[in-house]
Amino acid sequence: MPESVPMTQRTRRLAGDHAVLGFVALVTVLACLVTVEVAQLELAAPNSAVNWWAFALFALLLLVAESRPVFWLRFGEGGEITPGWAFGFALLLLGSPLGAMVCMAAATLISDSIGHKSIEKVTFNVAQVTLALGLGALVLAGFGLSGPMLANGDISFTSSLGMIVAGVVVLVTNCILLFAVMAISRGVSLMVPAREGWLTSISADGALLAVAPIFVVAVEYSLLLLPLLCVTSFIVFSSARQAMRQAHAASHDQLTQLLNRASFVQNLERLLANDDGTAEPTTLLLIDLDGFKEVNDRLGHQTGDGLLQAFAERLERIIPSTAIAARLGGDEFAVALRRDESVDQLVMASDLLTRLSATMPVHGFPMSVGMSIGMAFAPEHGRTAEELLGCADIAMYRAKRCHTGVETYAAVGASRELGRLGLLGDLSAAIELEQLTVGYQPVVRIDSGRTESVEALLRWEHPTFGDIPPGEFIALAEHTELIGPLTSFILDRAVRDITLLERSDLSLAVNVSARNLQDRHFPDFVLSTLEAHGLAPQRLEIEITESAIANEPERSRFAIDTLRESGVRVAIDDFGTGYSSFSSLRDLSVDRLKIDRSFIAKMASGPKDVILVRSIINLAGYLGLETVAEGIEDDATLGILTELGCEFAQGFLISKPMRIAQLRTWMAETSPAFPAVRLQPEPIFTS
């Protein structure tokens, strides 16, 4: 574990490491004792009938198989499978058990050195194969098979039975030792790794051990059969390799090689399971990267993929070896681990957030990414994987909205908030249940105070949680197919409402998302909606953000051009906050710039913001574009904008969003009475 891990957790990890080292030492001692016993048996009754040419050949094949990574099969945490067992067991059957054990140990040592494994892993693997093969040799000796298998010219029933039992002993010993060291290192029962890897290990190693007697028979009969047997074995091994790769792909994310969602849920269920039916104390962390969509949009999907891979590698290095990690999809990751009651879980998660957020190299360039972490505990918040995931999702969603970094479900539960999954589930039915409404915020001309247009803003009146701001559900809907029905609803409702007002010159502005613009049927839908309600295209304005056109710009540009050719106006919303402001003005045909509220809000106290806003207004004037200032909340800001020559104003100083009936009353009572005195305050900043 890195140095910043809490001391109690580090102590627990060290205790686990000590247990592993103790087990390795035990296996090593047993391997030495078995080796001594086998050596005594062989030296007491030396066998001159050993075919040393065949022995040398199999020893060479064993060395090649173990030293070439191309022949290795890896499966999850279960280790590696190589053709070496076929040749190692064949050496045993040729009549020199001690020689077979020495060759197997030497080949294993070479392969582990090539793989740059730690000393304890090398020691364990050498002791493991030596002990397994040595026990197989003792079984053969027990059946009276102390020499070559074909020493008598044929294979008797006793010889066959002895080889079968010896092979089973080698296989079972190998599997038990492997699963035991995995279980000790992860702090779980022996059955956990056995369930995860027993089928792969037994089927592969068993098949390889079964091939060994065939190798021996072929070599004893004629060396000319060996090439044919090697070709056949290679085909079988290649088939096994492909099958294992397919099995790995079915349970792992192909980009990051972490577990996928289905496999993570299965592993989490195993982690939660207790023999008495209760849930094991467990911590689940749900991690969502902030701003990852912008990385894809601005830098391309190849960079986005590289960032996900680098993040996954760092995640695996940082979390404890006993934890399980997965990529659930997109930019969402999950980590589950047994809860250490002596460790403050919030401190642990915050520490994880800090280390994961550090700069990392992606394609040779340093990059960093923010993230939000939601945390849930078993059994307090759930006893199943899906229950915990739902609770962690709620906590993570609040961390993202509140920009707190880390939230626990316990801190959220009292406020009865919805997570993303619950929110999207309710949103899908909100239209039919008439929970969605449309508010209208006026946009006035600064020099006259006349209301020139209104912006339609979607609102959701949830029956349980009250008014949910659009920023909480529209951003989620943009990643699903729900954005289509939402846009259809607000466009149809707003166009219908505007036609009911007495003002035939009042324009309507509606926000659309990137997914709308990339739908080739969207322009036709907009125009058919206008025609159905009798609203002239010139009275509709489509508002888009710069980021909305960054992904698949050709499709977006086609939709924009089609709408403008029909008379629909186009405005760039939140102008100045995107990475491509000037290229947007160069490449797109638009009518209006809406200056982002982040610049407007600080104008009264920030000279730099005044300079930036003046530059945007002047640039728009040179290009023949109108300018709208969003988020005006005080007279001082309005005075500055008047001096700078901004044409239109929108914000709470003028009016909050209203229902259509309130808008009708407001326009009748105030228009054009947007007080002229407010338009001529004393300048705060001069040119």
pLDDT of residue 13: 47
Answer yes or no: do 393 and 446 share one domain: no
pLDDT of residue 567: 93
Answer yes or no: do 556 and 640 share one domain: yes
Q: How confident is the model at residue 454 (pLDDT cuts 50, 70, 90)?
A: very high
**In this structure, is residue 350 part of a structural domain?**
yes
CA distances to 528, 542, 570, 672 from 499, rounded to whole Å, are 15, 17, 20, 20
pLDDT tens digits, 390-438: 888 888 888 887 788 898 886 544 344 555 666 666 777 777 777 888 9
Answer yes or no: do 76 and 123 share one domain: yes
Q: Name, in order, each residue with C-beta under 8 angstroms of 237's C-beta and a sequence gap of 6 or more.
A: 71, 83
Answer yes or no: do 647 and 502 share one domain: yes
Answer yes or no: do 63 and 182 share one domain: yes
**In this structure, is residue 423 part of a structural domain?**
no
Answer yes or no: do 523 and 566 share one domain: yes
pLDDT of residue 202: 60
Domain boundary among 251, 283, 311: 251
**In this structure, is residue 424 part of a structural domain?**
no
* φ and ψ of 304, to 5 deg: -60, -45
From the centroid of its chain, how far is CA 679? 52
pLDDT of residue 671: 53
Q: How confident is the model at residue 539 (pLDDT cuts 50, 70, 90)?
A: very high
Question: pTM (2 decimals)?
Answer: 0.54
**In this structure, is residue 686 part of a structural domain?**
no
Give me the CATH number covering residue 445.
3.20.20.450
Buried residues in 616-650 as b, exposed as e (16+ CB within 10 A): bbebbeeeebbbbbbbbeeeebbbbbbbbebbbbb
Buried residues in 36-57 as b, exposed as e (16+ CB within 10 A): eebeebbeeeeeeebbeebbeb
pLDDT tens digits, 492-523: 999 999 998 878 889 999 988 877 888 888 89
**In this structure, is residue 6 part of a structural domain?**
no
pLDDT of residue 687: 31
Of residues 214 and 388, more confidently modeled = 388
Please, what is the angle between helix 52-67 and helix 191-221, to 10°? 140
Give me the CATH number covering residue 353.
3.30.70.270
Domain boundary among 251, 283, 307: 251
Say what the alpha-carbon torsion angle 214, 219, 224, 225 is, to the nearest 10 degrees.
Answer: 0
**In this structure, is residue 547 part of a structural domain?**
yes
pLDDT of residue 541: 93
Which segment of 14-28, 100-114, 273-287, 542-556 scores lowest on mean pLDDT?
Answer: 542-556
pLDDT of residue 440: 92
Residue with tokens 């806003």: 613
Q: How far apart are CA 438 and CA 444, in angstroms?
A: 19
pLDDT of residue 237: 62
Answer yes or no: do 246 and 269 share one domain: no
Answer yes or no: do 383 and 526 share one domain: no
CA-based nearest residue to 616, from 590, 640, 646, 588: 646
Q: Is 319 helix (H, G, I), strand (E, B) or coil?
A: coil
pLDDT tens digits, 660-677: 888 888 888 765 544 443
pLDDT tens digits, 577-616: 655 456 666 667 888 999 888 888 888 777 888 998 999 9
Domain boundary among 251, 280, 313: 251
Answer yes or no: do 276 and 384 share one domain: yes
Answer yes or no: do 508 and 377 share one domain: no
Q: How confident is the model at residue 9 (pLDDT cuts 50, 70, 90)?
A: very low
From the centroid of its chain, how far is CA 503? 51
Task: Check whether 334 has a pLDDT greater than 90.
Answer: yes
Task: Check whether 252 has a pLDDT greater than 80.
Answer: yes
Task: Check whether 276 has a pLDDT greater than 60.
Answer: no
**In this structure, is residue 572 part of a structural domain?**
yes
Answer yes or no: do 225 and 316 share one domain: no
Percent of the chain with pLDDT over 90: 18
Number of domains in the chain: 3
Task: Check whether 479 has a pLDDT greater than 70.
Answer: no
Answer yes or no: do 606 and 664 share one domain: yes
**Residue 389 structure tokens:** 């995931």
**In this structure, is residue 176 part of a structural domain?**
yes
| Residue range of the domain that includes 399 | 261-417
Task: Check whether 18 has a pLDDT greater than 80.
Answer: no
pLDDT tens digits, 51-93: 777 788 888 878 877 776 444 444 444 445 566 777 888 888 8
